[in-house]
Structure formats: structure tokens, C-alpha cells
């Protein structure tokens, strides 16, 4: 299980007027970034900020933290 989950992003994107196509072509979000979101891979806070601005949403509508047994012990 991943610690950061981007499933809220996909729900927010569905409800918006945007699509992965418009994110790439109109807003210059790279296709590699879209792929990272699909695979719950790390993205930068700048990217998260850009997505919130583009989609007019809050951070929790893009990503959520899910605790995992494999989290590093602090």
C-alpha cells in the first residue's frame, strides 16, 4: 500500500471541465506527471500546487495520506 494516494485527484478531475488532455496541452502538465499520478508515485509540491490552482480545489481533493505498515519508523 502506498502512503500517498492520488485517487481523490481522479474524482476531482472527473467533476471538473478539465481532462488529462487539457492538463497536458493547455496547462503544460507533463504526461510523465500524469503517469506518476496514475501509479501513486511521488510528485513535487509545485505540481500539487499547480493542480490545485488549475482545478480550483484544495490539496485534499488531489491527494490523501494512507498509513502503511511499511512506513519508515521515526
Q: How many domains is the chain built from?
A: 1
Distance, CA of 15 to CA of 11 (rounded, Å): 6
Of the candidates 54, 49, 64, 53, the one whose C-alpha atom is nearest the C-alpha of residue 20 is 54
In a domain, 22, yes or no: yes
Which domain covers residue 37, as residue numbers? 4-65
In a domain, 72, yes or no: no
Model pTM score: 0.87
- Residue 20 maps to which CATH number? 1.10.260
In a domain, 17, yes or no: yes
In a domain, 42, yes or no: yes
In a domain, 74, yes or no: no
For the stretch 23-71, pLDDT in tens is 999 999 999 999 999 999 999 999 999 999 999 999 999 999 988 777 6
Amino acid at each position: 500500500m502506498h502512503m500517498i494516494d492520488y485517487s481523490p485527484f481522479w474524482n476531482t478531475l472527473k467533476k471538473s471541465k478539465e481532462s488529462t488532455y487539457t492538463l497536458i496541452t493547455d496547462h503544460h502538465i507533463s504526461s510523465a506527471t500524469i503517469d506518476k499520478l496514475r501509479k501513486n508515485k511521488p510528485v513535487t509540491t509545485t505540481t500539487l500546487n499547480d493542480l490545485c490552482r488549475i482545478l480550483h480545489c484544495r490539496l485534499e481533493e488531489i491527494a490523501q495520506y494512507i498509513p502503511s505498515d511499511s512506513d519508515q519508523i521515526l
